[in-house]
Amino acid sequence: MSHPNDPKLKSFIDVDSTSDFPIQNLPYGVFSTPDSVQRRVGVAIGDFVLDLAVLESEGLLKTGAERCAFAKPSLNAFMALGPKAWSSVRAQISEVLRHDSATLRDNAGLRKRALLPRKDVQLHMPFAVAGYTDFYSSKEHATNVGIMFRGKDNALQPNWLHIPIAYNGRASTVVVSGTPIVRPQGQLKPPSAEVPSFGPCKRLDFELEMGVVVGGASQMGTRLSEAQANEMIFGFVLLNDWSARDIQQWEYVPLGPFQAKAFGTSISPWVVTREALEPFRVQGPKQDPQPLPYLQQASANNYDLHLEVDLRAAKAKQAATISRTNFKYMYWSSVQQLVHHASSGCAMNVGDLLGSGTISGPEKDQRGSLLEISWNGAEPIELPGGEKRTFFEDGDSLIIRGWCQGDGYRVGFGDVEGTVMPST
């Protein structure tokens, strides 16, 4: 039996070479349909969703657990079964969907119940977020922001090359793609004002990030090795860390962002597994100075993952691509982030979400936030149709896409989209 990542595998379902969801991917999500509103776990394949709750109840999918794992409104129960179960289930799903596998292919009744057109399903939050931590691991992004906020000589703080910097964010406002984002209100104190005032954010921004979905737990008081951290990563999602720059600039000293980041974080509905991304692992940038021993890596823990950002202005029909970059540029890897997160003895939980930090590349057109793209408002971007933007206006939409390119197929994430609504 060939491995589910084998590039030669074909499904009996036609999948275009530009689809994000070939048989080599098999990402997990949570969905419902108008006929059956109960949320359950499914896998995306081409233009369809495979209902895993149906397969499990038919005895076609074995997780090794006594209780069902897929007739559930989140992936958490399945994730808690651990990496051996993840791998085994993915192999079973791959087998069921192969072109030469008759079980589902030749059973019209089962196909009708288990394979649903993707356009007919509603996608929900794929997992219950236990905790949300946001890192700051792109050297290019940290340098750009540092230059804007503190000047060229103090761009990177002295600790940045030694610690994967992060803050604890809010799990309560992580939402699935398509959820509108209301422009936040907060304390603002522009440099020209003598005293702060409270009102709608005027510098609303996005941050292009990947999210790590932690599928394992660690005990309070224990640390993680590189191998243990790697094994605990269930998969990845696209993530937009909505940011209120004017609130942030006034509040961030001395404890870091708080309300500037607490009002909304959008994620893509499909969780692409770490296993599906294995063929796309690459070495990250050289780390100089060498990190402390507990952060040193024996493996290539970065991914060659293309990212694109579109902005659709309120009245425009068409979206404009405003950034193209790659996850491979990240200075600190997700594994290093997780190792560091547990390094004090901090317990990690099934369902923890780690934001990578804004992903900016070395070039100007590879920047992952409006703050950088418009250089803090000094260089507005011109959109097709002649409109200009420094930060978001009400009605604007932001769309992030991401994929790894294989030979004749791609392992993709779909997209994460959010539209800005007026303050209430």
Point out the residues that are catalytic: 141
Enumerate residues 204-223 that contact Ca ion by CB under 5 A: 207
C-beta separation of 12 from 98 below 8 A: yes
Cα–Cα distances (Å) from 24 to 44, 85, 93, 400, in that order, read 11, 18, 11, 22
Instruction: Write down the least CB distance from residue 128 to Ca ion, Å.
Output: 21
How far is Cα 266 from Cα 124, in angstroms, rounded to an integer?
12
Q: Which stretch binds Ca ion (CB under 5 A): 120-128, 157-165, 201-209, 365-373?
A: 201-209
Instruction: Write down the least CB distance from residue 261 to Ca ion, Å.
Output: 7
Instruction: Write down the least CB distance from residue 368 to Ca ion, Å.
Output: 9
Placement of tokens 């059973």 in the chain? 107
Instruction: Write down the least CB distance from residue 355 to Ca ion, Å.
Output: 5
Instruction: Write down the least CB distance from residue 227 to Ca ion, Å.
Output: 27
Cα–Cα distances (Å) from 265 to 58, 76, 130, 353, 354, in that order, read 37, 19, 14, 11, 12
Give the distance from CA 263 to its chain's centroid: 17
**For Ca ion, which is the closer residue by CB, 133 or 302?**
133
**For Ca ion, which is the closer residue by CB, 118 or 341?**
341
How far is Cα 232 from Cα 80, in angstroms, rounded to an integer?
10
State which residue has the least CB distance to Ca ion. Answer: 241
Q: Which stretch binds Ca ion (CB under 5 A): 40-48, 199-207, 262-270, 360-368?
A: 199-207
Of 291, 297, 286, 374, nearest to 330 by C-alpha is 286
Instruction: Write down the least CB distance from residue 48 to Ca ion, Å.
Output: 34
Strand partners, 265: 174, 241
Window 260-299: contact mask with Ca ion (x via CB under 5 A): ----------------------------------------
Using CB under 5 A as the binding criterion, the count of chain residues that bind Ca ion stands at 3
**For Ca ion, which is the closer residue by CB, 45 or 307?**
307
Enumerate residues 233-252 that contact Ca ion by CB under 5 A: 241
Enumerate residues 128-147 that contact Ca ion by CB under 5 A: 134
Of 57, 22, 17, 64, nearest to 43 by C-alpha is 22
Q: If binding is defined by CB under 5 A, does position 56 make contact with Ca ion?
A: no
H/E segment holding residue 244: strand 243-244
DSSP letters, 176-230, are: ETT--EEPPEEEE--TT-SS-EEEE-SSEE--EEEEEEE-S-B-TT----HHHHH
H/E segment holding residue 28: strand 28-32
**For Ca ion, which is the closer residue by CB, 77 or 311?**
311
**For Ca ion, which is the closer residue by CB, 134 or 417?**
134
Q: Which residues of this protein are in contact with Ca ion, per CB under 5 A?
A: 134, 207, 241
